[in-house]
Each structure stands twice: as C-alpha cells, then as structure tokens.
A and B are shown apart, each in its own frame.
Chain A
C-alpha cells in the first residue's frame, strides 16, 4: 500500500511548481497555467484525505468537485479578461499592465 505521505509530498511539490510559475512567468496566460497546477495540487490533497480518512462521508470528493467548478469559473473569466486586455492594450505581459500604477 502507498502511505499517505507520498500523495502529500507529490501535492506539495506540484503546489511549489505552480507557485513558481505564478510568481515568475511574465505572460498572463502562463500565470493562469500556474494557478491551474496549484488547484490540482489542492485537489490531490483533498481526494487523498478522503481516501485515507472516513471513506463513507465523501466530503473530500465533494470538496474537490466544488474546486473543479470554481477552477472552471476562474479560468473562463481570467482568460476573458486576458483577451479583453490584449484587445485594448495589445499586450499580455503582466509587467506592462500598469494602468493603475502611480
């Protein structure tokens, strides 16, 4: 059997990689890709806690499904914002979107 720690370490590593992508990438679409990796890491944690805890409550899986829905909403609105910004400013580089900076 696989101990719980393997899943948790995998999820922590995936979260770290996603965080690196969010902090480091310049392209706004690539930043959203990093956010997706982080959400997947959270989902691995939730499902593994469901499997290693009380299986009959299903709470972990229900929580993960809500995370799926929120991720879909986040991606659709985020990419719509990126496309709208690209149309107006002709750039998707996050550093150049400094209209609110003063």
Chain B
C-alpha cells in the first residue's frame, strides 16, 4: 500500500458515501450539499490522475455553478415532501436491483478486458498537460470545432432556460 493508494481509497469511499447520501437523504437541501461533497471527492480523484485543470474546473463549474443552481431550484420549489411522505417511489427495490445489476455488469464486462489492471506510465518529463490541452482545444487540426459547438450549445441552453423559466404574468 503506497500513500497514493491510501489517499485514493479514502477519497473513493468518501465520494461513494456522499453519493449514497445524495440519493437517500430525505431533505433535498441536504442532498444538494452531499452532492457538493461528492463533487469535491471527484475533484480529488482528478488530481490523483494528474488532471489538475479538470480538478479546478470541477470545483469552479460543478461546485461553484451547478450545485448552487440546484440549491436555488430546491429553495424555489420547496414543498412539504419531506416529513411523512416517502421520498422514493414504491418500486424502489426494482430500481435498486437494476442499479446493482448495472454495476455488476459493468465490472464483469471490464474484467474480461486485457487492459483492466494495467498501471499508468509515468508522465513524460517536460510534458505540460494544461498547455497541451489549450493547444488541442484551439487548434483547427484538433478539437476547435467541438469546442465552438459547445459554446453555441451553452448559449442556446442559456436562452432556452431564461425563456422556459420566465414568468409571463
């Protein structure tokens, strides 16, 4: 057990535990706050994968924007769904079976793959992932088109969200 593995295990358990709280807790505000904890755990996993930029984007976009948006939505739609009513529908056991089967199927499928237990090669010395990422995202030979399409998608979503949520009265 190296130190990295211990850190991975701690934060993997932290991530999965808070994810379980997200889907089971009764109070939706608490669910949104547990989602923040889950996203933070995933950011630590990105850091362990040498993807520093992804970790920062995870904190800024997911925790800073999306989780806050969820908290706003929960506060705007507060209803007495908390105390005696069940938060889950009556077929929850079927959902649990489907989820467990999906997990088992994924692990079973991956287990038969030859690269399942390979370890990472060391990052080449002098390799700067962030500047490489910037180059690839803005170079016409690489991914500039998906990058621009994503910006158009965000603009369309912005306009659509304002239109849908706008109070006409």
Q: Which A residues are within 8 Å of any B CB, using their own CB?
A: 1-10, 12-21, 23-27, 29-30, 32-34, 36-37, 40, 43-44, 47-48, 50-52, 55-58, 61-62, 64-66, 68-77, 79-84, 86-87, 90-93, 95
Closest to A6 in B: B8
Is the Cβ of A15 less than 8 Å from the Cβ of B102? yes
Is the Cβ of A81 less than 8 Å from the Cβ of B164? yes
The distance in angstroms between the C-alpha atoms of A56 and B165, with both chains bound, is 43
Is the Cβ of A79 less than 8 Å from the Cβ of B73? yes
The distance in angstroms between the C-alpha atoms of A40 and B57, with both chains bound, is 12
Interface class of chain A by DSSP = helix
- Residues A44 and B42 in contact in the complex (CB < 8 Å), given A5-B110, A20-B99, A83-B76: yes
Is the Cβ of B119 less than 8 Å from the Cβ of A33? no
Closest to B74 in A: A29
The 8 Å CB contact of B164, one of A4, A18, A77, is: A77
Whether B10 is near chain A, meaning CB under 8 Å from some CB there, is: no
CB of B70 to closest CB in A, whole Å: 7
